[in-house]
């Protein structure tokens, strides 16, 4: 079936044994969506008495009626063109949000499984996951930015550009004719630009996982000995997973507050290394820690279930990226929507997510005739020994306001001791700012227009 727009024509497969009627080129037909597309199934359309499977990027819903045009009736299967109703941009965004919102999943569950797979011996993983999936996981991990990279302004900019929000924009740019067509350097740069994108790597991981699921489901059952051996391997892997996920014993490794430096500057560290002072090491209540994140792959009963769980989480992460993309599109009610970024960061042997929300607001004060432009960055991350940490950095004209929230009492104490040093060094760098505040807890909830966009167009 050919879809309106620049997408490549997907495959159309006839599932009914009924012979084709005398369709003519240019003829318009009515189709009914019998089944919407899922991560492992194509959409199923019924045209007359015949059913066709098709892979399409159009947001089809079960029960939806469509109009299709016969492009080539003499092919098997026939080539059809889907006519989708023209909608206003705001209505299109609203419809896409309704489809994407139920499918999206937070990033941390997938990241927990990636961390667990990294800690599991390669020999054990090789017995469970197919080599194609292992390669896709390795490539995904290698393409993630590391802590040292995002500690610079250029590195942080690259991490945001590769967060998945701008992949389609990159594809459009890569399709434009280059100044020197056919140059090897242009092709290499385009490949690196696309391969470094999080959405690209998630799509490849999902594709390889889906292919392995299909291969296993269509493969005849093996002998009993192979099945018993596989169950024994899975039991060993689950036992190993439970050992890897035990909470820390009695101590917590000290962490330098240099980890906080990238939040405020791309230059030299703004805070001294507090590990020299033994009194600032996290001990006592902090040593109890919290339970390690759950890796759901460690508790699946078969290879097929492991692959389906991995595919489910990967598809949810991709839907999460699409949801952030949709929320970033301007509408009449919200011409300057906030940008939402979720960036997994590689640090040593673990991956940790960082969430950012960038907002822009312009105000014209009545009476004073003074124009105020405000840019605000909301940042949330979970450091290994300091726990969840949140920051709000606002730039109002040329003045900066910084507020931080620490969920742990010990973390609040550590940061509060060094706030004056951070403030002083920012001043020395020529940055005008009010005294930095650090509070315990979480930032107050914001009820912005992004949430309203998701709910106002809903019909009971």
Average pLDDT over residues 101-109: 91
Residue with tokens 């439970």: 242
Mean per-residue pLDDT, 434-455: 69
pLDDT in tens, 6-20: 333 444 555 444 445
Nearest to 110 by CA among 209, 36, 236, 195: 209
CA atoms within 13 A on the CB side of 51: 10
Say if CB 337 and CB 360 are below 8 A apart.
no
Residue pLDDT, tens place only, 328-362:
888 777 888 899 999 999 988 899 999 999 998 76
Q: Which is more confidently placed, 98 or 367?
A: 98
Closest CA to 415 of 433, 403, 399: 403
Looking at residue 365, its pLDDT comes to 55
Of the ranges 32-36, 132-136, 255-259, 400-404, which is most confident? 132-136
375-403: pLDDT as tens digits: 899 999 888 788 899 999 998 877 888 99
273 pLDDT higher than 70: no
Q: Which of 213, 165, 225 minimizes the C-alpha distance to 356?
A: 165
Query: Which of 70, 99, 1 is closest to 42 using CA atoms?
Result: 1
302 vs 232: CA distance, rounded Å: 10
Sorting pLDDT into bands at 50, 70 and 90, what band is 160?
very high
45 neighbors 66 (Cβ within 8 angstroms): yes
pLDDT of residue 280: 32
DSSP E strands, 55-105: 65-72, 79-83
d(CA 286, CA 289): 6
Copy the structure tokens of residue 101: 């919102």
The residue extents of the domains of the chain are 2-86, 88-176+184-246+292-334
Backbone angles phi, psi at 127, to 5 degrees: -80, -15
- Among 28-37, 135-144, 277-286, which is the least confidently predicted range? 277-286
- Sorted by sequence, the CB contacts under 8 Å of residue 344 that are 6+ apart come out as 107, 111, 144, 198, 351, 352, 353, 354
Cα three-residue angle 28-29-33, rounded to 5 degrees:
140
8 CB-near residues (< 8 Å, 6+ apart):
none
Query: In this predicted structure, what is the pLDDT of residue 10?
Result: 40
Cα–Cα dist 89/408, whole Å: 44
Residues in the chain: 460
Question: Which of the pair, 52 or 263, is modelled with greater confidence?
Answer: 52
From the list 76, 86, 67, the residue with the least C-alpha distance to 27 is 67
Q: Which pLDDT tens digit goes with each residue over 163-181? A: 999 998 888 887 776 665 5
pLDDT the model gives residue 169 = 87
Distance in angstroms (rounded) separating the CA atoms of residues 334 and 251: 49
Whether pTM > 0.85 for this model: the answer is no
Candidate from 63-72, 150-159, 163-172 with smallest mean pLDDT: 63-72
Domain 2-86: CATH architecture, name and number where available: Beta Barrel (2.40)
Spell out the long-range contacts of 212-221 with Cβ–Cβ below 8 A and sequence spacing 24 or more. 212/130, 212/132, 212/133, 212/307, 213/40, 213/304, 213/307, 213/308, 213/311, 214/40, 216/303, 216/304, 216/307, 217/304
Structure token digits, residue 271: 């805070």
pLDDT value at position 364?
Answer: 55
Across 16-20, 28-32, 254-258, 289-293, least confident range? 254-258
Q: Hey, how many other C-beta atoms are within 10 angstroms of the C-beta on 38?
A: 10
Specify the pLDDT at position 451: 41
- pLDDT per residue over 306-324, tens digit each? 999 999 999 999 999 999 9
Which pLDDT score, from 0 to 100, does residue 166 have?
Answer: 92
Residue 3 phi, psi dihedral angles, 5° rounding: -110, 140
What does the alpha-carbon distance between residue 20 and residue 33 come to, in Å, rounded to a whole number? 19
């Amino acid at each position: 079936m050919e879809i309106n727009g620049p997408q490549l024509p997907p495959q159309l497969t006839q599932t009914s044994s009924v012979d084709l009627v005398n369709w003519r080129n240019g003829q318009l037909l009515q189709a009914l969506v019998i089944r919407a597309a899922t991560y492992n199934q194509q959409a199923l359309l019924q045209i007359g008495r015949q059913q066709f499977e098709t892979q399409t990027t159009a947001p089809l819903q079960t029960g939806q009626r469509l109009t299709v045009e016969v492009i080539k009736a003499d092919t098997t299967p026939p080539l059809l063109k889907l006519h989708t109703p023209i909608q206003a941009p705001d209505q299109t965004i609203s419809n896409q949000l309704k489809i994407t919102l139920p499918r999206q999943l937070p990033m941390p569950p997938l990241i927990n499984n990636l961390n667990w797979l990294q800690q599991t011996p390669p020999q054990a993983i090789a017995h469970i996951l197919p080599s194609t999936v292992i390669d896709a996981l390795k490539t995904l991990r290698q393409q993630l930015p590391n802590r040292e990279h995002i500690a610079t302004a250029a590195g942080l900019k690259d991490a945001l550009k590769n967060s998945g929000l701008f992949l389609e924009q990159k594809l459009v740019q890569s399709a434009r004719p280059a100044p020197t067509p056919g140059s090897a350097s242009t092709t290499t740069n385009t490949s690196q630009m696309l391969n470094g994108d999080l959405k690209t790597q998630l799509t490849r991981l999902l594709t390889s996982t889906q292919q392995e699921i299909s291969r296993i489901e269509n493969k005849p059952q093996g002998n009993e000995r192979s099945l018993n051996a596989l169950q024994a391997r899975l039991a060993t892997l689950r036992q190993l997973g439970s050992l890897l996920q035990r909470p820390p014993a009695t101590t917590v490794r000290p962490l330098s507050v240099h980890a906080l430096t990238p939040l405020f500057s791309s230059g030299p560290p703004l805070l001294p290394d507090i590990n020299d002072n033994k009194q600032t090491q996290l001990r006592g209540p902090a040593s109890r820690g919290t339970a390690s994140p759950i890796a759901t792959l460690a508790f699946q009963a078969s290879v097929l279930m492991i692959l389906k769980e991995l595919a489910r989480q990967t598809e949810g992460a991709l839907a999460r990226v699409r949801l952030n993309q949709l929320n970033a599109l301007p509408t009449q009610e919200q011409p300057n929507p906030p940008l939402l970024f979720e960036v997994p960061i590689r640090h040593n042997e673990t991956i940790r997510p960082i969430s950012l929300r960038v907002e822009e607001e312009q105000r014209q004060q009545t009476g004073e005739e003074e124009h105020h432009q405000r840019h605000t960055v909301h940042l949330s991350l979970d450091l290994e020994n300091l726990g969840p940490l949140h920051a709000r950095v606002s730039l109002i004209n040329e003045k900066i306001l910084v507020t931080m929230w620490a969920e742990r009492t010990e973390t609040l104490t550590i940061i509060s001791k060094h706030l004056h040093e951070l403030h002083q060094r920012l001043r020395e760098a020529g940055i005008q700012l009010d005294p930095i505040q650090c509070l315990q807890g979480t930032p107050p909830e914001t009820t912005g227009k992004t949430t309203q966009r998701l709910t106002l167009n809903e019909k009971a």
